[in-house]
Copies of this chain bind each other. A is one copy, B any other.
Amino acid sequence: MNPIQTAIRRGRVEVQDIESDVLRGNPAGDPHMRRVPVYLPPAYDSQPRRRFPVVFVLTGFTGRGRMLLNDAPWSPALDDRMDALIAAGSPETILVMPDCYTRFGGSQYVDSTATGRYETHLVEELVPWVDGRYRTLATRDHRGVAGKSSGGFGAMRLGMLHPDVFGALACHSGDMLFEYCYQVDFPRACSTIQQAGGVRRFLEAFQAKPQKPKDDLLTLNIVAMAACYSPEREAELGVGLPFDLATGLPRPDVFSRWLEFDPLRLLPTRADALRSLRLLYLDCGTKDEFHLHHGARAFTAELSRLGIAHTYEEFEDGHMNVSYRYDQSLPALARALSE
């Protein structure tokens, strides 16, 4: 139903094993060797002197780069998708698929004393590594970042904080308006961790289950966000939870630390960075199960108020299985980064 188009020019994928100095000895005990697939477009081989723009594509929670290459019956892998977009007229671009996975399920692409310095790894280590190994156009004007969900959050935040590194970004259904996308899961996560007997035991039991119950998955998400946004050195595994495990009550002081990472809260102080982008693309489904359309609307309303150019699209769908949205963002990024 989604036959591989064999008639078209095809790019290829190199899978690199990268040894990270930044991640070595990270507090969560995750590997510092990381496998990073790199998509090279058709012209990369046929035009051996040409340099290309590059887009870092960030996966969502529980993902690592390789998963972007997963094939599905009605949704092509990222390499097949990019081949088809290029065949349809998109400028050619390199795609890099970082691995910022952690034992908690993800890193949100931030530095944290509970997980490790993933923001630093990405910006200061992986970007130069790619520029050193591939024929990239190695300036911010030709380097973009994109992602969905936690990857959309990562793309937005990295674009806001590192406008010298990234000149364009695409944020699909990205985490924002944390009161809506995270806070609603606190009572259930609290119950689940209480029943498991703490964060460590919860993670161990989770690992051991062949099938992961829905409540466990949302709890893992909250634990991971706590590890990223509110690490506490004295807490179990260094994870400062936004509720008190003993009483079950909310800890608003902890949640206020989370809000410092909310793109919606960051926006007023990062307007200049966003204004400097060659492309600022956002979209969200109108039925997003994590309620991210509320955040996207509030964010883009504020962009408009501040006079910051952007593209915003809504589509009639939910949060899952929407990688077809890359058909919108990747050609737009490729064009913006090719000029």
Contact = CB atoms under 8 A, between A and B. Distances in A.
Contacts of A212: 74
Q: Is the interface of A mostly helix, strand, loop or mixed?
A: loop
Interface string A215-230: 0000000000000000
A248 B187 contact: no
Contact of A31 (B6, B207, B297): B6
Given A248-B294, A297-B247, A317 B71 contact: no
A88 interface: no
A75 B335 CA distance: 37
A15 to B, nearest CB: 10
A304 interface: no
A270 to B, nearest CB: 19
A177 to B, nearest CB: 8
Query: What is the total number of copies of this protein in its complex?
Result: 4
Interface residues of A, number: 56
Given A6-B31, A291-B188, A71 B66 contact: yes
26 contacts: A1-B105, A4-B35, A6-B17, A63-B73, A64-B71, A66-B71, A67-B71, A67-B73, A70-B70, A70-B71, A73-B101, A74-B212, A177-B249, A179-B250, A184-B184, A184-B187, A187-B291, A188-B291, A210-B317, A210-B322, A211-B320, A247-B297, A248-B293, A248-B294, A248-B297, A248-B298
Given A1-B207, A70-B71, A210-B321, 8 more contacts: A1-B101, A3-B31, A67-B73, A73-B101, A183-B184, A191-B294, A248-B294, A249-B298
